[in-house]
Structure 1
Amino acid sequence: MGVVAVFVGILSWYALGSLQGLGVNLVIAFFVALALEPAVVWLVRHGWRRGAAAGVALLGSIIVIAVVLALFGNLFVQQLIQLVSNLPDVYATIQEWVEGQFGVVVPDSDDLIRQALEQWGDDVASGALAVGAGIVGGLFAASVILLVAYYLLAAGPKFRASICRWLTPNRQEEVLRMWEITQVKVSDFINTRIVLAALSTTFTFVFLLIMGTPYALPLAVFTGVVSQFVPTIGTYIGGALPVVVALAAQGIGYGLAVTAFIVGYQQVENLIFSPKVSARALEMNPAVSFVAVLAFGAVFGPLGAFLALPIAATIQAIGNTYMRRHELIDSHMLRDPDSHHEGHEGHEGHDRKKPGEPHDAPAG
């Protein structure tokens, strides 16, 4: 029996390691279904069958994402081609300036390209094969996520009922309550991101239009969508493309102006827009949010990083629901001190009011 237990343990450990990718895809599919559940419920209330409503909601979201990627992917590729085509001229200008100022012989760009191909040609080939395999794996994972999400959306209440049949009535109530909390947090997160993306798009479009930057509307939409829906680095990616376009089409002055606007608007969004728009959502410490994004991104990949905030908010909401909270004691460690003058007067007044203390007692 001991030998059998060891082999069963080894097999279970190996199976869990092999199924890790599938488990991640199932978790992502579950949260995708939660995010699309309000749209499906709205369609069902207007007379749609549950399966058709689930298919339309899922297919509609895929079409919207595909259109956005097609529009901005094309713009990004065009700008990238333009930048790459201008690199030889930029390099030649830098080469002439360095040779004229310092008398240093800088190799030609053709020599650098030839040397790079000789040194890293094999690495580039193997990297291309790895990228191809990654694309195939990503398509398979996306298919699994979409299929499972569709089944969860199409089942809806039936799926929840099948789970609750294995639980006692008290446990059923707790599971359904946690399910509802998770649903609310995911919906609040998605709605918040959409509103903030719309605000960012509007203000960026007006600024780029005033500056006369080409492709103002697609650049503004790209900035708004990427800055809100790409975790952690979305702000930098979303702001980089309009800066590059301004640099390439209008010059360094316009590029710096667009950079200053992106940085300034980010501060306005963090201090004004985001707190007001997220008033219904659960407030979370910024450091906790940042660590949650990094942790879920390291474990579950980019989609895990995107879902980190609603998952963390759900965990915090469940903890607030089921964990007992106590009143705080009176301690100076739980509040910021007053200003120096007010604090001094407060101490003096407090000292004068101490019972049984002589009037000429020194201040504490």
Structure 2
Amino acid sequence: MPRALAQVVVAAIVGVIAYGILGSLKGIISTVLIAFVLALAMEPAVNALVRHRWRRAVATATVMVGGLVAVVALVTVFGNLFVTQLLQLVAALDDALVAVRAGLDPALADQIPDRQALVTEALERYGADLASGILGIGGVLASGFITATGVLLIAFYMLAAGPQLRIAICRPLEPVRQARVLAMWGIAQEKLSGFIASRVVLALVSAVCTTLFLAVIGIGYAVPLGLFVGVVSQFVPTVGTYIAGALPIAVAGVQSIGLGLVVLAWIIAYQQFENLILSPRVSSKALEINPAVSFVAVIAFGAVLGPMGAFIGLPLAATAQAVISTYLRRHELIDSALLRDEPVARGPGPT
């Protein structure tokens, strides 16, 4: 008994120390995990270039630089459009305020401050909070840049190593365990490819539906706005839906406040349709996981790893499910009414 109690105490102390270490390394673990998923996503393109006699390091750099250029180009094009439309919206609101003041009785019009007075009052009341908020946003952007740089560097080294990384992992293992590790690696890559395919399908459907809707109600720039909504809402985790919806709402609001409200209602309605009907079906078919499991996986990984965790939660859950289903031992089921749907007994028909 004393020996067992001592072992329990030692195990508890080791567990507490390990928990503290893992808590301190949470950021590093999440960075490595995200880099690993990113490397798996880009590896098929790198392998295609390697088969055409490209050096692996050059192929990896080409694929990563191409992806970064595409992202920067997308942000630049639609960022300029967003800023332009937002400035036009502010000008339109200013004109609307002037029109309202002109249509009112002079006594009532004097009670409504003009734009300059509103701006001055807002700066006096919220200027300090606005300045601290800007500094906070700057800190978040700097931290995000450092994290993104670390993710890209780790993903580059993983991709550039390629088979050498898998050799280093498998070298200490027995042949049976090597086969299992490589099988799980292949499953992870297959599920990630399915996840990317599901995101592309959802982005395409969202872009087409949004483009048609904007064209029907007479909003300019319908095609680029539809593409922006489709791409950003599917490939920017957590806040992508809000960023994607803000641009078409601003563009419509420049034309009229009513159109802006109509577009807002469309964005909300389509997101409900996508979240409740379309996305669970597409994700479950592409990743072969239950819609409830996919929903819980997004919430759980988002809580643990943040926004990027919500993005990679589906492929990680699908990989875990595939690995478990591959190596889990199955048994013959017993006969029970709880394992099947019983048909409803029908009464005798009319005579």
TM-score between both structures, scaled by the size of structure 1: 0.77
Aligned match of 1:310: 315
Q: Could you tell me whether the CA contact under 8 Å between 2:284 and 2:294 is conserved in 1?
A: no
Aligned match of 2:8: none
1:217-256 aligned at under 5 Å gives the runs 217-231=223-237, 234-235=240-241, 237-249=243-255, 252-253=258-259, 256=262
- Aligned to 1:322, which of 322, 327, 333? 327
Alpha-carbon shift at residue 55 of structure 1 (Å): 1.1
Aligned match of 2:70: 64
Alignment gaps of 5+ in structure 2: 1-10
Letter in 2 for 1:166: P
Aligned match of 2:300: 295
Alpha-carbon shift at residue 274 of structure 1 (Å): 7.1
1:1-364 aligned at under 5 Å gives the runs 16-90=22-96, 110=116, 112-231=118-237, 234-235=240-241, 237-249=243-255, 252-253=258-259, 256=262, 259-260=265-266, 263=269, 267=273, 271=277, 275=281, 279-285=285-291, 287-334=292-339, 338=343, 343-345=345-347
Alignment gaps of 5+ in structure 1: 350-364
Q: Give CA-to-partner distance per residue, 1:47-89, whole Å, 9 cap, x none.
A: 2221111111111111111111111111122222222333444
Q: Say what the alpha-carbon RMSD is for the aligned residues.
A: 3.8
Q: Could you tell me whether the CA contact under 8 Å between 1:196 and 1:277 is conserved in 2?
A: no
Alpha-carbon shift at residue 235 of structure 1 (Å): 4.2
Alpha-carbon shift at residue 133 of structure 1 (Å): 2.2
SS in 2 for 1:63: helix
Q: Could you tell me whether the CA contact under 8 Å between 1:33 and 1:153 is conserved in 2?
A: yes
Q: Could you tell me whether the CA contact under 8 Å between 1:196 and 1:273 is conserved in 2?
A: yes
TM-score between both structures, scaled by the size of structure 2: 0.80
Quickly say closer, same or farther: Cα 1:6–1:280, change in 2 above 3 A: closer
For 1:303 and 1:133, locate their aligned partners in 2 and report how far apart those are by CA, in whole Å: 18
Quickly say closer, same or farther: Cα 1:274–1:63, change in 2 above 3 A: farther
Letter in 1 for 2:311: F
- Greater Rg by CA: 1
What is the number of residues matched between the two proteins?
Answer: 338
SS in 2 for 1:307: helix
- Which segment is superposed worse, 182-191 or 252-261? 252-261
For 1:16 and 1:72, locate their aligned partners in 2 and report how far apart those are by CA, in whole Å: 40
Alpha-carbon shift at residue 188 of structure 1 (Å): 0.9
